[in-house]
Amino acid sequence: MKVLRGRLYWFFLATFAAAIMSFGPMFFGPGMTTPEAFSVAVNTGFPVAGVNTPAYEVAFPNLTFDSPITFNPVPGQNRIVVGQLDGKVYWISTDNSTAQRNLIVDWSSEVGDRNEGAVWDGGFLGLAIHPDFGTDPTKNYMFAYYSTNAASNNLGTPQGFRCSVENFSGNYLVLARFRVDPVTMSYVPNSQQIMMRRELYNTTHRGGGMTFGPDGYLYVTTGDQATYANAQDIANNLDGGVLRLDVDMNPATGHAPKRFLQDPGVGNTHPDSDGLETSGAFYFIPNDNPFNVPLGDSSSPVFEEYYTIGHRSPHRLTMDSATGDLYIGEVGEATHEEINILRNSPSTAGNNYGWPFYEGFAGFTPPTQSGVPCNVTLYPGTDLTDPLTDFTRQEAWSIIGGYVYNGSIAQYQGRYIAGDYVTNQLYAIDTQSGAKENLGVGPGEMISFGQDSNGELYILRLGNNGSGIYRLRESIDINSAPTLLSDTGVFVTDVDGDFSDIGQLSVTNGFIPYDMIQPFWSDGALKSRWMAIPNNGTHDTPAEQIQWSEDGDWQFPVGSVLVKHFDYPDESRPNQTRKIETRFSIKGTDGNFYFLTYKWNAAETDATLVDMSTGETVSIDITRGGNQETIEWLYPSNSQCLNCHNPALGGTLGPRTRNLNSDYDYSAKGGTVGNQLVTLSTLGILNENITDTDTPGYLTHKAIDDLNATLDERARSYLDNNCAYCHQPATGNRADFDLRLFNTLAQTGLLTAGINQAVPAMAPDQEILFPGDASKSQLYHRANSLEPGVKMPPLAKGIVDTEGVALLEAWINQLEAPAPPPLGDYRIVNRASGQTLQVPDAGTANSANVATGGYAGLAHQNFALEDAAVAGYHQLKALHSDKYLDVAAASTANGANVWQYTGNGTDAQLWELVDAGDNTYNIISKLSGYYLGTQPNGNVVVSENNGSDIFRWEFLSKNDNLSLTPISDRSDSVGDAVDFTVTATGGDPSAPLSYGLSGAPTGIDIDALTGRVTGTLVAGAEAGGPGSDGVYTVTVTATRGSSQASSGFSWTVSTAPEPSTVVYR
C-alpha cells in the first residue's frame, strides 16, 4: 500500500476510526473467511489445457525445399511456383500429396544469399507472375528480384546502420523479367532481361516484396539498405519505397522513364561499379504516379518510379484479393515493427510512411555517429502516414508480412495474417482497427507467406525442413469444451439437469462473487460476476494466488476461471430480466486465457456454446422506454474477446484494485458484508495482506451516479472503465494517449494527442479532447456515435450510453487545459531527492554529463526554458554554457544517459512538459517517449515512468531565495495558551530546514523542524521585555544550508483580565 494519496489521507483515517468508535461497526472485516477448494479439472467441464491448437499444419509433405521464400499460384492452372532463397525456382502441382518438384530455372550461381554467407539479408527475394500469363502469348513473363553474389564481398554478417554511408562490395540488387512456357513450365533460354540493377549497400534492408496490383501495374518494395537518408531521397537512389511500374509499356497510360541510374552523377557512384548500375529498361512510368513531372518534360529531377516513400525494410508486399489494398510487413529498428497499408485509393499515391522519423507509432531520430548528427529532411510536400498497427519488442522483432485471408476458415476471414521470425508468433490483424490476435507459435523461422488460388495461406520457413511449407488452419478446437452451460459444472442445476426451474443462478463451490463499482457499458445489460482461483482448500502458494497490484493489472494463476453473466432488463416482463449470455475466461496451461461464450435459448432453460472461431450476432426484441426495440447482440468469438482482453494486460479487464474497492454482500455464500479487497485478501486469493485501514488509501473508481464524487472523478473513472483497457501503451493501440485513472489529465496525453483519422461530421479544428468544447472533441463524438468506423468502443456497441455521454459532455465543457510553466530561467528540482538539475563542475564541453546535486545559485545549476520549433515541445538550455539538455547519442534505449550538447533542433533536444500534479511536471523526450528521471547516484537518464517521484520536476525561479512569511504583531494575556506556526519557503530543497526563536516571553518555544510556536504565557510576562513593560521584540529565524532568513514582530503581554460576575435569574 502507498503510504499517502494526499494530505487528507490521515485526516480521513482518523475520522473513519472515530466514526467506528462512535457508531459501531461499518462492515469492518472480510465478508468471507473460509476458502473453497477449486480445480478446473475437478469442478468444471472445461479443458485444462485450453482450446488452442497450432494454427498450421505441414503442407506438401512429400517434397523438400531449402528455404522457400516465394509461393505463387499460376493463373488459370493447378500449379504453384516456389522460389528458394538460393535462386532455384520450381513448379509443383497443387495436389498436397505430390512428390514431384520441377525445376524452372537455377540462378544459384548468380544469387548471393544469407545461407551461404554471401549476403546477410539477401538472396532470391521476390517473384511475381504476370496476371495474363498463359492467356496472352506476349505476356508469359515472370518477374524476379534478387541480390547477386560477388567475387570478394564483405556482406556475410551484419554491419549496422548508417546515416548516409553506402558501403559497396560489388554486389547488386536485380529486378529482371524472364519468359516461361505456360504449357511445359520450362524456362525460355536466354530470355532473362534486366529491368533494374542497383548497387547493393551495407548488409541489410533489401525489400523484394512484389505483386501486381488491381490496376495491372507491378508494385515492388525496396529497402533503405541500412542508410537512414535514403528513404526520404527520391532523386539519388531507388531505395526505401514502393515502386509502381507499367511492365506492359502501354503508351496510352504511361511513358518512358526520364531519370536513370546510369545518368551522369546519379548512379555508378563507386569506382568498382564499372557502369553496371542501370534502370529504366522494359517498363514505363504510369502517368498517374505521384512524383511525376509534366509529361512534356524530357527529364526529371526525381525517380518517377516511386509510388510511396518513407519505408525502412518492407520485406513482404501482398494484395488483398477482395479489396485490392496492398499490405506491407515492415521490419523496425529499435522498438517497433509495423504493418502498413496502401489502400486501393488514389489518395494513397505519394504517401510518406515516415521512416526515419517514426518507427511504428513511436517517434525516431537517427543517432548521432562519431559526433555528427544525422540530419535527414522529410521529403517536401508529403505528410506522414500512420501504420495500420505496430508491434512492441515483446511481440515481435522481425515481422514477416503475410496476406489478408480470403479462404475457407471463418476464424480468419478478412484479417491480415503475419508472423515474426524471431519470436515465432503468428498474428491475425483487423484491417480497419489494427487490433491484433495472437494465434500462438508458428513453425519457426518464418521468412515469407504464400496464398493459393483458393485464398488459403501458407507459411514458408528458413532452412531444410522437409517441404518448409505449412498451411494455415484453425487455431481453436472447441470439441473438448462443454456444449451446454449446464454441463460446465459452474452453476447449480435443477432436477432436470438444466435451469428450467431456476430463476436466479447460483454457483457451485469455489466460485466467489464480485462486482465492480461501475460496470462497463454493455448496451444496458445487467451483469453478474464470479471468479474461481485454483486451490486445495488453502491459497498458500503462488499457483493459488492472484499477483496483486495496487494500480496495475492483476495476474491470475493458471486454472483461474472468470464468469460474466448478462441479463437484459425488459419492461414487458415487470420485475424480471431476460438471460442473454454467459461468458467464461479460463486461463489454460499455456499461460493464456481462452474464452467460451454461451447463448441462452428463448425458454431460458439452458445456453449453448457458440462457434468460438466466428462468434454470432442475434437480433433480440425488447421493450425499453415504453418502446419496442430490436437490439443486435454480439456473442463474441475468441478473437473478438481478445480485442479487449489483451494478453498484455494479463487477459482480464474488471478485476483491478480501483474497480473492487467497495463493499459486497456475501450472504449467498454464507458470509456477510465486507470490502471485496479485504475479503479476497483474507481468503488468501490475493498475495497481499489488505485490511480495512488500507483501503481508503487506494485509488478508487467513482460511480457515474455518485453524488459525493466530483465531476472530474466520475468522468475520469468512466474513461478508465470503458476506454483504458484499449487506450494505454501496453496494448499497442494506435491512439497515443493513456486513459488510466492514475494519470493526471496532462499525463494521459489527451491534450496533445494527434488525430489518426478525422471524423467527417465534426468541425475542421477537431481534437481528441478540445477543453471547453465537447462538440469539437472526438472523445465525446465517438462515445455518442453508432457509426461503424467512428463509434467507440468499436465492438459490441449497439446502443449509446446516454448517461455516460452526458457525463463526458459536461466534463469536457468545463475543462481548462493545464499550462506549462512560462518561458524563462529556472532552477529545476527533482521531487524525490530535492536535488537540482545541473551540469556538474560547470563543464562547458559538448557531452558534459547532466546530474542532480545541491544548489548554490550558480549558472550551471539553472536552465532556460525555451520554445522549440515543434509545437508542444520545449528546449532546456544550460545558462552557463548555452548548450542544451540532450539525450546522449540520440539513443532511444530505456535508461539512456542525458548530457548537454550544442543546439541542433533534433528530437534528442525536444521535451514535452506534462503536468504531474502538485506543481510538478514530467519532462518527456520526444525522441523516445521516455521520462527524465534520476538514478540513485544522482545521474540523470530518460527511462520508462513507473509513477514514482524520481520522474517529477519542480520549476522554481532561479532567484527563489529562502524567505519567511511575515508575522503580524500579537497581543495576548498572561495564562493564554499560544499555538501558531511560521512558514519558510525557497532555498535549497536538498538542505534541511530549521527554525529558531529569540526575544520571546518566558515559556514560549519553537519546534525547530516544523516552525510551530507553542507554550503558555506565565505570570510575570506582563512585566518582561526590553522595557519591562510586557512589550517584546521577537525574531524568528529560518536556516537552510548556507541561507538564512528572519522575520520580526512585536508581542505585547498584558495581565489576565478579572473574571466577570454572573448573576443567574
Task: State pLDDT tens for residues 367-385.
Answer: 777 777 788 888 998 878 9
Entry pTM: 0.66
29-45 burial, b if ≥16 CB within 10 A, otherwise e?
ebbbeebbebebeebbb
**CATH (residue range 824-957):** 2.80.10.50
Class of residue 219 by CB neighbours under 10 A (exposed 0-12, middle 13-18, buried 19+): buried
Cβ-contact 653, 646 below 8 angstroms? no
**CATH (residue range 963-1054):** 2.60.40.10
Which of 856, 799, 828 has its CA nearest to residue 957?
828
Which of 488, 636, 423 has its CA nearest to residue 44?
488
The answer regarding whether domain 108-472 maps to CATH 2.120.10.30 reads: yes
Which of 312, 333, 325 has its CA nearest to residue 391?
333
Cα–Cα distance, 223 to 328 (Å, whole number)? 12
Report the Cα 639 to chain-centroid distance in Å.
19
> Where along the chain do its domains lie?
9-40+479-697, 108-472, 711-813, 824-957, 963-1054
Beta-carbon contacts of 523 under 8 Å, excluding residues fewer than 6 positions away, are: 631, 633, 796, 797, 798, 799
Cα–Cα distance, 264 to 473 (Å, whole number)? 53
Cα–Cα distance, 12 to 698 (Å, whole number)? 12
Quote the pLDDT of residue 957: 81
Which of 125, 219, 229, 220 has its CA nearest to residue 171?
125
Quote the pLDDT of residue 962: 79
Helix (H, G, I), strand (E, B) or coil at 615: coil
Q: What is the 3-state secondary structure (H, E, C) of 578-596?
A: EEEEEEEEEECCCCCEEEE
Cα–Cα distance, 610 to 380 (Å, whole number)? 53
Quote the pLDDT of residue 446: 94
Low-confidence ranges of the chain (pLDDT < 50): 1-26, 1060-1065
Starting at the earlier edge strand, list the strands of the sheet with 415-420.
Answer: 399-400, 415-420, 425-430, 436-441
Max Cα–Cα distance, the chain, nearest Å = 132
Angle 877-882-883 from CA coordinates, rounded to 5°:
65
Quote the pLDDT of residue 6: 34
Q: How far is residue 166 from each of residues 15, 202, 277, 383, 499, measured CA to CA in Å? A: 72, 6, 14, 27, 73
Starting at the earlier edge strand, list the strands of the sheet with 457-461.
Answer: 56-58, 469-472, 457-461, 446-451
**Helix (H) or strand (E) run with residue 14 in it:** helix 9-23
Helix (H, G, I), strand (E, B) or coil at 302: coil
Quote the pLDDT of residue 966: 87
Cell, residue 86: 538460393
**Helix (H) or strand (E) run with residue 805 in it:** helix 802-813
